[in-house]
Amino acid sequence: MTPFHPLSRSSGPPISSWGRNVTNLNKSPFVAGAGLVWRRQSVLWWVFLVNFILAGMGAATFMRQISPMLDQSLESQVFVRSFNPMALSTLLMETHGLSSAGMASACLILVFFFFMLFVEGGLLEVYRLDRGLTKGEFFEASGRFFWRFVRLLIMLLIVLIPVGILNNLATRSSHAMDERSPSPVPGIWVRLIGLLLVLLLMQAVRLWFDMAQVRAVAEDDRAIRRALARAFKITFGNFGSLYWMYLRISVVAWLMMAVLLWIWVRLVRPEWIGVSFLLTQLMLLSWLGTRLWQRASETVWYQRRMPAVVKESEQPTPVPAPVPAPEAQAPDFSI
Amino acid sequence: MLQCAVKRFQDSRIHVSGRVRCVFGCRVVLLSLILAGAVVARAGGQTGTVADAQGQASHALSTRVVAYQIEARLDPVKKTIDATEILTYHNLTGRPLDTFPFHLYLNAFQPTSTFMREVRLYGTRGADPESVWDKKHYGAIEVKSFEVVGQGDFTKRLEFIQPDDHNPDDRTVFQVKLAKPVAPGADVVFKIVFHDQLPEVLERTGYKRNFFMVAQWFPKVGVWWHDAWNCHQFHALTEFFADFGAFDVKATVPENYLTGSTGDLVSTVPNRDHTKTVTWRAADIHDFAWTASPDYKLIEDAWTGSAGTVHIHLLLSPGHESSIRRYLEVIKGALDRFDRWYGPYPYDRITLVDPPQGASDAGGMEYPTLITCGTGWWVPEGARVPEMVTEHEFGHQYWYGMVATNEFEEAWMDEGINSYTEAKVMESLYGKDTSMLDLWGMSASDADILRLEYVTLPDTDPLSRFAWQFMNSNAYAAVSYGKTATLLLTLEGIIGEDTMRRAMHTYFMRYRFTHPTGADFIKTIEEVSGRDLDWYFQQAVHGTNVLDYEVLAIRSDPLDWFREPPSKPKKGVTLYRDTVLVHRKADFIMPVDIQIKFDNGDRTLEKWDGRDRWVRFSYDKKARVISAEIDPQHSVRLDKNFFSNSSTEEADRRATHKLSTYWLFATQYMAQLLAWLA
């Protein structure tokens, strides 16, 4: 039996919990997912903020390391006027490498990774319910799913092993082609096609595990292997529509990144440091936003396609008396 | 040669030993005078081939000590060459010679050779010490018979020698002792039958599929130099040294193969067995290499300079079409700059070989009138690797090809001087700050890259060290290429760019077609500049001194600092004691300029001889010092850290913020990528 949890389908009014996700059937999950990210943009901002703060701590270490060398040196203008990688290499050598800053940033990248693993349950719950959660609700949901998602992560890594092997095979095929052909072109094509296939395959695997997470949150399913097996059936039983949705968002992410990079490289003058900062942050925000868009769209898709499962799981729980809108309960901390 | 054309932009270079530093004897001076006349005549309008293999004296640019006639047959399946070589050696040593050493370079590619020992010790281009021996890299040259005309068969009397390391397994040099010595002024003729097993391409030579770069492939006699034979074993870090002469080479290859070589094509004769025999001829050169492949596409162009028209032959490999324009543009640009700056290119041809996919180890190498380049399927326009490699190898036509220094012993004189001229030519062609990189908001000059190479290992070895005696391959590259180029750029700052160019021109014109030493080069620089530069060369060439200056502190202290209550500073009124403390951190002593700026707009340029460890400049002024900068012109490029060369009163944190922004972005992005797994 599916255990009860406070934020399960019964915890809020049906319209609120399924809210616009279910009722706005005119919109495709692709569009509805974007709308969901927009409505629940506090999730995006919070995650982005954490990403920024953690990376900022690494950058601060880096800044402390280079500041004594640069701040009162006229030579620092080589970085203001342009970006000379040779001068940067010299700087790194003179600062005796960047072991401490590099180590700090590497650790903080790991911290962010575990943070994301932790809050994944919370943010999926936000999208599932399509309403803001209080701090307590959010972290309660996050904590509840954390170990399940850790187990999913381990399984994901196992599943990715054959993908890695496939990538290795593509590389070897490319090298073999290079050995046979006097032209680099066939080898490059093999490598590019191999990379594309591996990328698409990794996206398919990620989609499968995304759906397992979405399902685990929707069903509060503790049996992760079962959740994964069911997610497999759901994902590959509806592969066309799901994958097309996922891929389109990825393409949007890549396009946005490419356009912003182009603007950064071509239009932003080297000395416009503030503009560079804003543009790079916009890139990261768009990258993160599109990833959340995928999660939101998957949630919407699941809710629309699996209503029977959802309803079934809701039935044992009596509908409680109406409660005030969650936004009104904890406006300060809603996520 | 470029040690690793794409990865590290390194090459092999030389250095001056005490033994080599002695001034060339009268023989060379006299020969130089004779040759200078000959070259002027050539530059005055002669056209056609430099000379034929028989050595027409009136056309000779060099003293032709050797004449090689080789007939070779390539087996494209077995990757072998069977050949006969007739070598005529003119004894111009002034003494009878009864012993002759020969190089057998291809024997280096065997597991027990000195070359491989050194690769295992410290690596070389394209191979690190952990490289696993692969039998496809096996190479060998076997002398089947060795006859001395008039003295009989000496095949059984050939003796392998190991003059450098006494490794009994090294078979890269053999010597033969004749029954009768060759009298001064007389000739001796050797008839040699040999068999080559080419390795899969490594260290400049070999095959890849049906591409053949046939280099260092024939028994080559050593050089009588400084009253002794100079015939070193083939080492992991060394290149070559040989006498000038004439070459008449015939090669039989499959009929569908396109060929290119040192020198000029004389004829192509088809054979009945679906092969063809190609004849080449070249003179006033000291090495001969050739290439063959059915996949080449021939691109022809021409350039006209002070010595006439130079035909440009580009043998392009498939998939590299995007580099055609770039190759031709840079080769013509380099021909032009060298012609105007250093002297005429006297040959009527330059062949560019573009190695195919997988044969990059054959790329980035120089042979007389033939160079191997390096590019990729698609190299962005702003990343000037194909240009740099092509320019570098062309530069070797001057510094190695014509000014034929001993690459075994003085690597800096070909690779280093060539790297210096590479930086100058690249700067002239592609801009001062963008000569190497102008891409996606990044920029770097060739000189920047060479300096970075030097800064990585500035103090391990002096330039004047035999190439195989460097600490390792990185030290060899850092010193022979990076440090030499950087010290010559610094020298340019000392004597002036125009003087430096005149000195290089004089050096080239004086020593082309000879074997000068480092001492000759230094002497020429001092002579043309009219300055005693011994203090500089002793440290830069013969020493391992590191140059590093810093502005340790700047300070403006009100003279009335003791007053109570302290007076409020007023610009233009308050009198300060301004001090600037400059420190020489390392052991290279170099006079430097220090520019000091004050907040009232005053500037002063101080000169310091650098002999003491530090100096303090002091001024009593109604102005505060706002900055001090050592070497404001950035001419002392040997200084290993430019960042400490200046100090400002006020901090400018823009660079720190910019780099931190990049760091922040990279960290955030990496974090988000990793979180994709979550």
Domain count, chain A: 1
**Least Cα separation, residue B176 to chain A (angstroms):** 41
| Segments of chain A with pLDDT less than 70 | 1-25, 97, 307-335
Contact criterion met (CB < 8 Å) for B444 and A179:
no
In this prediction, residue B40 has a pLDDT band, given cuts at 50, 70 and 90, of very low
Contact criterion met (CB < 8 Å) for B455 and A90:
yes
Write the pLDDT tens digit of every residue in B543-569: 999 999 999 999 999 998 888 888 888
Residue A56 or B53, more confident = A56
Of the listed ranges A17-26, B48-57, B227-236, B440-449, the least confidently predicted one is B48-57
Q: Which of B456, B671, B676 sits opposite A109 (nearest CB)?
A: B671
The domain B20-293 belongs to what CATH superfamily?
tricorn interacting facor f3 domain (2.60.40.1730)
Q: Which of B627, B646, B659 sits opposite A66 (nearest CB)?
A: B659
In this prediction, residue B440 has a pLDDT band, given cuts at 50, 70 and 90, of confident
Interface of B with A in 443-482 (CB under 8 A): 443-444, 448-449, 451-452, 455-456
Q: What is the mean pLDDT of chain B?
A: 90
Checking if the pLDDT of B579 tops 50, the result is yes
With CA atoms as reference, report the closest residue to B632 among B673, B666, B593: B593
With CA atoms as reference, report the closest residue to B28 among B223, B273, B246, B287: B223
Interface of B with A in 320-359 (CB under 8 A): 320, 356-358
Chain B partners of A114 at a C-beta cutoff of 8 Å?
A: 678
B26 burial level (CB within 10 Å; 0-12, 13-18, 19+): exposed
Tell me what pLDDT residue B11 has: 34
**A206 interfacial to chain B (CB closer than 8 Å):** yes
What CATH number is given for B549-653 in this structure?
Answer: 2.60.40
Model-level pTM? 0.85
Q: Which of B357, B661, B668 sits opposite A184 (nearest CB)?
A: B357
Which amino acid is present at A27? K
**B642 interfacial to chain A (CB closer than 8 Å):** yes
Tell me what pLDDT residue B2 has: 53
Bridge partners for B182 per DSSP: B97
| B219 neighbors B288 (Cβ within 8 angstroms) | no
Contact criterion met (CB < 8 Å) for A284 and B665:
yes
Tell me what pLDDT residue B1 has: 57
* Residues of chain B above pLDDT 90, percent: 84
Q: Which of A59, A72, A80 sits opposite B664 (nearest CB)?
A: A59
Mutate which of A47, A52, A65, A76 to test chain B, going by most B C-beta atoms within 10 A? A76
Q: Residue A40: which domain range?
A: 14-315
**A320 interfacial to chain B (CB closer than 8 Å):** no
In this prediction, residue B58 has a pLDDT band, given cuts at 50, 70 and 90, of low
Q: Which residues contact B28 (CB under 8 A, 6 or more apart)?
A: B514, B515, B516
**A26 interfacial to chain B (CB closer than 8 Å):** no
Interface of A with B in 72-91 (CB under 8 A): 72-80, 82-91
Q: Which of A56, A87, A182 sits opposite B664 (nearest CB)?
A: A56
In this prediction, residue B134 has a pLDDT band, given cuts at 50, 70 and 90, of confident
HEC readout, B471-517: CCHHHHHHHHHHHHHHHHHHHHHHHCHHHHHHHHHHHHHHHCCECCC
**Least Cα separation, residue A328 to chain B (angstroms):** 31
Residue A200 domain-assigned (yes or no): yes
**A158 interfacial to chain B (CB closer than 8 Å):** no
Which residue does chain A place closest to B442, by CA atoms? A83
Checking if the pLDDT of B34 tops 60, the result is no
**A315 interfacial to chain B (CB closer than 8 Å):** no
Q: Which residues of B638-650 are buried (b: 16+ CB within 10 A; e: fewer)?
A: bbbbbbbbbbbbe
Tell me what pLDDT residue A178 has: 84
Which amino acid is present at B617? F
Residue A82 domain-assigned (yes or no): yes
Contact criterion met (CB < 8 Å) for B655 and A80:
yes
Interface of B with A in 365-384 (CB under 8 A): 376-377
HEC readout, A57-110: HHHHHHHHHHHHHHCCCHHHHHHHHCCCHHHHHHHHHHCCCCHHHHHHHHHHHH
Residue A8 domain-assigned (yes or no): no
CA dihedral sign, ordered A320, A324, A325, A331: negative
SS3 state at B629? strand
Contact criterion met (CB < 8 Å) for B671 and A85:
no
In angstroms, the CA A230 to CA B462 distance is 70
Q: Please give the C-alpha separations between residue B402 and each of A137, B36, B353, B394, B408, in angstroms, as whole numbers.
A: 81, 12, 20, 12, 16
**B581 interfacial to chain A (CB closer than 8 Å):** no
Contact criterion met (CB < 8 Å) for A80 and B319:
no
Of the listed ranges A129-138, B89-98, B260-269, the least confidently predicted one is A129-138
Q: Would you kindly state where each structural domain of chain B is located, as residue ranges?
A: 20-293, 549-653
Checking if the pLDDT of B454 tops 80, the result is yes
Residue A308 domain-assigned (yes or no): yes
Average pLDDT over residues B562-581: 89
**Least Cα separation, residue A320 to chain B (angstroms):** 34
Interface of A with B in 39-68 (CB under 8 A): 51-52, 54-56, 58-60, 62-63, 66-67
Checking if the pLDDT of B414 tops 70, the result is yes
Residue A326 domain-assigned (yes or no): no
